[in-house]
Homo-oligomer: A and B are copies of this chain.
Amino acid sequence: MSDRRRSPCPIACTLDIIGDKWTLLVIRDMVLGRSHYKEFLESPEGIATNILADRLVKLVDAGLVEKYPSTLVPGRDAYRLTKKGETLRPILKSIVRWGLENLDGTSIGLSPR
């Protein structure tokens, strides 16, 4: 089903999970407290619906995210980071820091949500 890993390098293996332009943005959204499919779609980057669905499945498969019945919206599912998923925070943090320090015009969204 799934591929064999490219090498035993922790960087290579980690990139096979989060090494693309969208996965970490979905995780960022969860860190920021979003949990519904629709909320992820509303993020300013504009992820496509098929890509989002694909990433959610892969993240659940990887054990980083779990689906659970939303308590706020009855009969609706939602997503949240698992304990393992939470351990990605340091990576996210180092990336945020680097972006803020090295890329002009970036800022933490005091997003109007």
Residues of A within 8 A of B (CB): 5-16, 19-21, 24-25, 28, 43-46, 84, 87-88, 90-103, 105-109
Contacts and interface: CB of A to CB of B under 8 A. Distances in A.
A81 to B, nearest CB: 13
Contact of A28 (B6, B11, B96, B100): B11
A24 B28 contact: no
State the number of copies, please: 2
Given A25-B15, A90-B94, A94-B91, A100 B10 contact: yes
A43 to B, nearest CB: 8
A14 B98 contact: yes
Contacts of A25: 9, 11-12, 15
A25 B21 CA distance: 16
A5 B95 CA distance: 16
Contacts of A90: 94, 97-98
B108 A10 contact: yes
Which of A45, A96, A99 has most B Cβ within 10 Å? A99
Nearest to A9: B109
